[in-house]
Amino acid sequence: MHGYGVSKGLCYAKVLVLNEEAVVFPVEIGSPEEEEKKFLDAQAAVLEETIRLRDRTNETAGENAADILDVHCSLLKDGGLINPIKEEIAKQTGAALAVERVMNEVIEQFEAMENEYFAQRALDLKDIKDSLIRKILDIEKADISSLPEPTIIAGRDITPSTTAGMDLKMVSGLLMELGGSTSHTAILARTLDIPAVVGVKDLLSTVKTGDMVGFDGETGEIFLGMNEEEIEALKIKIVKQEKERSKWDMLSGRPAVTDDGKRFEIYGNIGTPEDAEKVLDRGGEGIGLFRSEFLYLSSKSLPDEEKQYEAYRKVLEKMGEKPVIVRTLDIGGDKDVPALRLSKEANPFLGLRALRLCRQEEEVFHTQLRALLKASLYGNLKIMFPMVSSMEELLWAKEKLKQCQDELRAEKIPYKEKIEIGIMVEIPAVAVMAECFSKECDFFSIGTNDLTQYTLAVDRGNEKVADLYTYYHPAVIKLIKMAIEGAHKNNIMCGMCGEAAGDPKMIPLLIGMGLDEYSMAASAIPEVKKWMSRLNTEKCKELAEQILKLNKATEVEGMLCKFYIQNNIEAKER
């Protein structure tokens, strides 16, 4: 069977299937007052359980994972949900059925937005709905808080509250019929290094509790009904995988140096202050991308200057003298902030997002810049503007930063005078004009996720055109080369913080094209260091020259794979 791999790793274990029992709503119900009390009691009980799960998740998986359940807590207290349910109950509807009807309407609205991010938020609402109904009807939930042996958990949709209640030490992997790469369960799986595959068609009609199953969380392959020889081969691969990871971890404390002595900067991408610890643990030499929008996404109200200042200061203090590149607010596209009340757009990725939104919401941008400047005293801060498409936008952002500096100086509030300013190169127009933009910047960071999307006119969240989305496309590679050359002509650093930066196949090509800094998920850092240590920069340059002459993405990827094999770089299986 096949699905979409969303968290790397091989595993082989016994399956536990979480079956969804059909809910039967009672015909006989109490008075509206009695039913409302049932609902409010259930709401209070589910909220208490969610808070308890959040605290437990915070201890086992960190604050980033626990933030998922904070969102659930906010929804359980949201008058926009609670009041319509009470109104439905007042119409002589039973409490459980009222929850079902009202929340289904909201869920359908999210699902109708035709956007993967909002579709995953619909799954969060389903999780809350099911918890409320179970509590009202006194339906017991499967207890997976204590598992007797390593287990693969399989379900139609494994919800965040279910995942948070698992005995995580005994969970070998997660398999789901639904879900996507941005679902909270996928995020949690990656955070905990638990292999996971989602979008597995007919999973629950094929796999039963007690079956022995193996799968690959990178390729999405699922292995059923294996014979003894196949099982033994998979177990050997799993042992080899663990040994490889141990070797990578040994490299985490060393610098990234090629076989012929060329050193590169390897940084980590983070979403919350707590993630900085993971970057340091895996040997990251800085933060190449701090996604500051997570401060906005996890709250019903806009974070004020003090809250942002504390978050930035925490990361800067943790990283010491190591660089911390904070990307200013990148909201819009597939990320919505309820407090901003953004209107729905037909083409959100081409609309009001990131720096464009900051030009419209100047006060929001102003607050963030002040917080960043105040925090700059505590480390090596660099500020990066996203979604720049014109020189006018960049100059406007720099002027706003200068205004904030003048304000703080007048208020006698200290900040670091010299802070490097950079931009994301993620729109083709900027890559084409890279030499011009590099005169106004201290560094570039190439965002390959959006650069690929905008170059190929492919929505990276749309599974219907997923086969067309690839950063191996020759046009994308040529734009990356233009950005690097444009930066170097004015002697500024060019880095990369998109998915390609952590792809071992891309590393030789990026080295050959002269990329200076690589930023990626913390878990990928040791592996990238390992492959870099096997490479020769001159051979990488020769490879880049050959690839820049190709016309097909399949040819590019094929040549990258062949490069490892021809140079005998321990990668024939890769």
Query: Is 72 tagged catalytic?
Result: no
pLDDT band at 460 (very low <50, low <70, confident <90, very high): low
pLDDT at 572 over 50: no
pLDDT at 474 over 50: yes
- Mean pLDDT to the nearest integer, 278-293: 90
CB 314 within 8 A of CB 326: no
Q: Comparing 49 with 101, which gets the higher pLDDT?
A: 101
pLDDT at 391 over 90: yes
What sign does the dihedral 50-55-61-63 (CA atoms) show?
positive
Q: What is the model's pLDDT at position 189?
A: 78
Q: What is the model's pLDDT at position 573?
A: 44
pLDDT at 146 over 80: no
What residues make up the domain containing 59?
Answer: 22-137
High-pLDDT (> 90) share of the chain, %: 46
- Which residues, in sequence order, are CB contacts of 546 under 8 Å at separation 6+? 559
Q: Examine residue 128 and state whether it is found in any structural domain, yes or no.
A: yes
Q: What is the model's pLDDT at position 413?
A: 96
pLDDT band at 488 (very low <50, low <70, confident <90, very high): very high
520 φ, ψ (degrees, to nearest 5): -155, 175
Strands of the sheet containing 4-7, edge to edge, are: 4-7, 196-198, 171-176, 151-155, 10-18, 212-216, 222-223
Concatenated DSSP letters for 137-159?
A: HTPPPP--SS-SS-EEEEES---
SS3 212: strand
Q: Examine residue 574 and state whether it is found in any structural domain, yes or no.
A: no
Residues 121 and 164 in one domain: no
493 φ, ψ (degrees, to nearest 5): -75, 140
Residues 132 and 209 in one domain: no
pLDDT at 411 over 70: yes
Indicate the average pLDDT of the chain. Answer: 85
pLDDT band at 33 (very low <50, low <70, confident <90, very high): very high
- Of 137, 171, 186, the residue that ends a domain is 137
Query: Is 497 tagged catalytic?
Result: yes
What sign does the dihedral 216-465-468-354 (CA atoms) show?
negative
- Mean pLDDT to the nearest integer, 245-267: 81
pLDDT band at 117 (very low <50, low <70, confident <90, very high): low
Q: What is the model's pLDDT at position 478?
A: 97
Q: List the end-to-end C-alpha distance of the chain, in Å, as a whole number.
A: 21
**In this predicted model, what pLDDT tens digit does every residue of 148-169 receive, in sequence order?**
889 999 988 777 667 666 777 8
Residues 484 and 530 in one domain: yes
Rounded distance, CA 176 to CA 1, Å? 12
Structure tokens at 93: 């509807």
- Mean pLDDT to the nearest integer, 299-326: 90
Residues 195 and 65 in one domain: no
Q: Examine residue 15 and state whether it is found in any structural domain, yes or no.
A: no
Give residue for tokens 């915070």.
58
Residues 397 and 527 in one domain: yes
Residues 307 and 335 in one domain: yes
Q: What is the model's pLDDT at position 315?
A: 95
Which residue out of 72, 184, 404, 494 is catalytically annotated? Answer: 184
High-pLDDT (> 70) share of the chain, %: 85
- Of 224, 245, 266, the residue that ends a domain is 245
The number of domains in the chain is 3
- Mean pLDDT to the nearest integer, 434-438: 97
- Of 190, 217, 245, the residue that ends a domain is 245
Q: What is the model's pLDDT at position 152?
A: 93
CA angle 230, 236, 242 (to 5 degrees): 140
Structure tokens at 39: 């609902």
DSSP E strands in 390-472: the ranges are 420-425, 443-446
Give residue for tokens 């920069």.
537
Rounded distance, CA 20 to CA 570, Å? 45
pLDDT at 444 over 90: yes
Across 472-484, b (16+ Cβ under 10 Å) vs e yields bbbebbbbbbbbb
Strand partners, 268: 287, 520
Q: Examine residue 442 and state whether it is found in any structural domain, yes or no.
A: yes
Structure tokens at 237: 């691969």
Rounded distance, CA 359 to CA 319, Å? 31
- Mean pLDDT to the nearest integer, 134-147: 77
Residues 489 and 537 in one domain: yes
Residues 241 and 256 in one domain: no
pLDDT band at 300 (very low <50, low <70, confident <90, very high): low
Q: What is the model's pLDDT at position 70?
A: 73
- Mean pLDDT to the nearest integer, 107-118: 68
pLDDT band at 77 (very low <50, low <70, confident <90, very high): confident
The CATH number of the domain holding residue 186 is: 3.50.30.10
The CATH number of the domain holding residue 417 is: 3.20.20.60
Three-class SS string for 404-429? Answer: HHHHHHHCCCCCCCCCEEEEEECCHH
Rounded distance, CA 422 to CA 519, Å? 15
Q: What is the model's pLDDT at position 258?
A: 92
Q: How many CB atoms lie within 10 A of CB 417?
A: 9
Q: What is the model's pLDDT at position 472?
A: 94
Which residue out of 358, 441, 494, 497 is catalytically annotated? Answer: 497
Residues 413 and 441 in one domain: yes
